[in-house]
Amino acid sequence: MNSQPPLPNNELDRLNSLRQYQILDTHPEKVFDDLTFLAAQICHTPIAIISLLDGSRQWFKSKVGLTAPETSRDLAFCAYTILQEKPLIVRNALADSRFATNALVLGDPNIRFYAGAPLITPEGFRLGSLCVIDIMPRDLSLEQVESLRVLSSQVMAQFELRRHAITLSHNIIQQQQAAQQFRQQHDFIEVFYRRGEEKARKEDYKGAILDFNEFLRLNPNGFKAYYNRGLARQKVGDYQGAMIDFDKYLQFNPNDVEARQNRGLLRFELGDYKGAVADYSNAMHPLPNNLIAGDMGFTYSEVEKKEAVVEHTHYLEIHSSDMDMDTDINISQTHTHSILENDSNTFEDSIQYLPFNSDDAEGYVTLSHTQYQPEESTATLLLSSNEAKLYLQRGNARCDLNDYSGAIEDYTQSLKMDPHDPQAYVRRGNARFLLKDYRGAIDDYTQCLWINPNDAKTYISRGNVYCELEDYTAAIKDYTQCLELNSNNAEAYINRANARSRQKDYHSAIEDYTDFLRLNPNDAKAYISRGNARSKLKDYSGAIEDYKRVWSKAIEQLPKLSSEQM
């Protein structure tokens, strides 16, 4: 009776290494079938196998000349191959005491000749072999043995690509899970801040302070809570605590006008008049006369966004009365012309003494309408246009502050004054999207496209909303429209590819991922997505090539990371 093959000394570690490749019982793959075909051709044998030694069986990943998917490990010639580093050559199995009574020698497939090169991992574990078999005693040349060894290395290289792809996918999943956990934790912490705000609005200042305390305990860098806690402490008479909070807040946000004004008031109450004057002075940052923020190419820093909203609001409060008075003032054109003829410099001479943020709004209106106001004057239209821009700009600033509801109100007001401004529709659509008002966002993007049907970017935005509504057909139509306007829009390709994948149209999705990668050849995520789509179509060779590209890019970055860490 045939004796059982001995076990390697590191058998448990070897089996654990085999499990890492997750290859047992997988479907046939062309890349491995090609290697067994080459092995049979080079060695001139009717049978070639890629075998893996599991705990109690020998499983075939690829085979030529055999139909059985596996055999018992007790009968496996490869069980002896994994005991050595070099290829195992059995010239005549009947003459070898290890195999003479083996059922595979005495019966089908009647093995006489066997040559197997071990499949060795980078860690030195031997998982199985690439072997060739003949039904007649024979031998291999040195060149054939070396070729068999080289082919076994190629088999192992494909296994390594598989393991790296699995590891990369696992790391991506872990990163996504960590990001999700962070978002959940952030949302949990944010509840205390929002609840503190709500309690402060209801004048429950002590309760608000408790919630702000908890928020700052969990998020010490949440500086916005210092200001609101300072306001609440001021309300309950804890002036010293309020001063500490205002000081901390202004260390983070030194140009907040409102905070400096409140600290100035508090300093005045505490008798620190010099400090109060300093805060009032630093809080005085009016915009230049008639300057609409953004028209001169200005961009807001994070600490200036609140100030921009305050300045725009102040202007709109003053000039909203101008627009109301337009309907009440009715000066005859003849009278207007006579004033213009006799006192052409009166307005310019007078207006220079009225600052933009003058509290004397009535005087400003009186001068402007006395000199330039026919029944439907150009000045009225300019004022309306300027106000529309200001509402638009304040809406933009509110968006930057995440006050999307306030921004929508401003964009709506702007559109009442200028209903043909496509930018206002897009901005309002974006804000509605962030508030998950997807139908409202679609209406705004559609209105913009009615005004400007060649706005490729807005087609993408509307397509993204349709994706949120899982209307992938409509989304694909919008991305396609964008690409008809701009065939090199990478964002449209990747979004359409993702939408097509959701519809399980993997062939079209792969075409879009390919076009996207033509424009962005270093995008690792796109390679993974295309690899996943190819895997769905059982194009495992193509999928592995995509995962291999990702791994290659990652390897290229390793020296750079090392140098930066040094």
CATH 3.30.450.40 domain residues, the chain: 11-168
Residue reference for tokens 């307005």: 347
Task: Give the mean model confidence (pLDDT) for residues 264-275.
Answer: 81
One-letter identity of residue 189: I
Q: CATH fold of 420-566, please?
A: 1.25.40
The DSSP H or E segment spanning 467 is: helix 456-468
Q: Cα 106 from chain centroid?
A: 62
In this predicted structure, the answer to whether residue 347 has a pLDDT above a threshold of 80 is no
Q: What is the pLDDT of residues 231-260, one digit of tens each?
A: 999 999 999 999 999 998 988 888 888 888
Q: Find, among 290, 372, 361, 375, the residue nearest to 321 by Cα.
A: 361
The pTM of the whole model exceeds 0.75 = no
Q: Where in the chain is the domain with CATH 1.25.40.10?
A: 203-283, 420-566
Q: What pLDDT score was predicted for residue 228?
A: 92
Write the CB contacts of 437 (distance below 8 Å, at least 6 apart in sequence): none
Mean pLDDT taken over the chain: 80
pLDDT in tens, 11-36: 999 999 999 999 999 999 999 999 99
Separation CA 390–CA 356 (nearest Å): 14
pLDDT in tens, 80-110: 999 999 999 999 999 999 999 999 999 999 9
Which CATH class, in words, describes the domain spanning 203-283? mainly alpha
Domain made up of 11-168: CATH architecture: 2-Layer Sandwich (3.30)
Alpha-carbon distance 302 to 289, whole Å? 23
